[in-house]
Amino acid sequence: MTKKIAVLPGDGIGTEIIEQAVRVLGALKLDLDLETQPVGGAAYDQHGHPLPPVTLELAKKADAILFGAVGDWKYDNLPREHRPEQAILGLRRALGLFANLRPAILYPELANASSLKPEVVAGLDILIVRELTGDIYFGQPRGVRELSDGPFKGDRQGFDTMHYAETEVRRIGHVAFQAARKRGKKLCSVDKANVLETSQFWRDIMIDVAKEYPDVELTHMYVDNAAMQLVRAPKAFDVIVTGNLFGDILSDEAAMLTGSIGMLPSASLNASNQGLYEPSHGSAPDIAGKNIANPLATILSAAMMLRYSLDAAPQADRIEAAVQKVLQQGLRTADIYEAGTTRVSTSEMGDAVLKALE
């Protein structure tokens, strides 16, 4: 049966990297129906909204979404609801994509690309499971208000609300425990339970969910310490589960351990395994249009899409093997370039992956 893929390139380098991933998908001879629509700033320019109805409707009916990146400085002064970031937040919300899987894998060929010593990061393979539709990202109320008492009485105050419902914690807990079960069987839940009520509640629920997974070892860590341990001894982690805000920060940190955020894919899944797949990096407007961005994170995101949403694990394996092969051949985009390797452009990297697939 034909599978429908929504292709949403977005802004900045989004179009260039998505183009390479689409070529790779095309080479697999699968029964896929790809339809492209604008998202983010590109959609705002065309339709006056970062997530216009044509794009949202396509995303809803698709089996999977391949997403590039959104954002550009030129939209910074728009009202918040029209900024490009609202597109990805809106998609996560509208499709209920609560489970964000962000693997951080260090390819042996890139051990020197990391800012950490090779012996600290060699063989790194961790998975961050980030809750994606709750927390202070979506909590209400939020806004700016005038204070009616206290030391700053009469002052204006910006505010947001952090909260987690039990169901939200439980369902991301199950995703994380099940992922850990298939890997090293160690799960570290990251919170700030020494300060935040939301975090203490999160921790209590995780301890309860753990009863269903006696084969997985659950530990807890405060987020400040986790940020430190990730650069001190990252290999001590297997799977990390955390809330939306902490997961945002820790996943960028973890990505950098691997040398380049340009290598890391991600999947955002809902309860029916419909998923949105995107590179972990942003739209990088500073290098957009130069054909120098690394398309591998997006190509690897397409592989995750095949595995998690399209029931095509063998083809996902093929893509991942092809990526490994081009790295072994010494081909590097600028972000992972080092002396002794061959620098290639975005499209040349795509060419090389296509060739390695043959």
CB of 281: closest distance to Mn ion in angstroms?
9
Residue in this structure with the two tokens 């505010």, named with its chain if needed = 159
CA-nearest of 39, 29, 101 to 277 is: 101
Query: What residue is closest to ligand IPM based on CB?
Result: 85
Residues in the chain: 358
Measured CA to CA, the distance from residue 7 to residue 130 in angstroms comes to 23
**Residue 224 labeled ligand binder:** yes
Q: Does 85 bind ligand IPM (CB under 6 A)?
A: yes
**Residue 311 labeled ligand binder:** no
**Residue 92 labeled ligand binder:** yes
Measured CA to CA, the distance from residue 312 to residue 34 in angstroms comes to 16
Q: Does 248 bind Mn ion (CB under 5 A)?
A: yes
DSSP structure class, residue 2: P
Q: Are 36 and 19 in contact (CB under 8 A)?
A: no
CA-nearest of 77, 92, 75, 4 to 40 is: 75
Rounded to 10°, the helix 166-181/197-210 angle is: 50
Residue 256 binding target from ligand IPM, Mn ion, none, CB below 5 to 8 Å by type = none
**Residue 244 labeled ligand binder:** no
Given the complex with ligand IPM, which of 248 and 351 has the nearer CB atom?
Answer: 248
Task: Outline where DSSP puts E strands in the chain.
Answer: 3-10, 32-36, 64-69, 99-105, 125-131, 143-146, 156-159, 186-191, 217-222, 239-242, 265-269, 275-279, 331-332, 342-343
CB of 357: closest distance to ligand IPM in angstroms?
28
Rounded to 10°, the helix 223-232/244-257 angle is: 10
CB of 214: closest distance to ligand IPM in angstroms?
33
Which residue(s) pair with 342 in the sheet?
331
**Which x/- pattern, by CB under 6 A, does the window 238-257 give for ligand IPM?**
----------x---------
Residue 253 sits at φ, ψ, to 5 deg, of: -65, -45
Q: Does 89 bind ligand IPM (CB under 6 A)?
A: yes
Residue 88 binding target from Mn ion, ligand IPM, none, CB below 5 to 8 Å by type = ligand IPM
Interacting span for ligand IPM (CB under 6 A) from 81-89, 149-157, 253-261, 321-329: 81-89
CB of 97: closest distance to ligand IPM in angstroms?
11
**Residue 307 labeled ligand binder:** no
**Which x/- pattern, by CB under 6 A, does the window 184-223 give for ligand IPM?**
----------------------------------------
Given the complex with ligand IPM, which of 192 and 281 has the nearer CB atom?
Answer: 281
197 CB-near residues (< 8 Å, 6+ apart):
none
155: helix, strand or coil: coil
Which residues are catalytically annotated? 137, 192, 224, 248, 252
Given the complex with ligand IPM, which of 89 and 334 has the nearer CB atom?
Answer: 89
Site for Mn ion in 285-314 (CB under 5 A): none
Give binding residues for Mg(2+) as ranges.
224, 248, 252
Task: Write out the residues near ligand IPM by the rule CB under 6 A.
Answer: 85, 88-89, 248
Q: Which residues bind Mn ion (CB under 5 A)?
A: 248
Binding site for NAD(+), residues? Answer: 282-294
Binding site feature residues for substrate: 92, 102, 130, 224
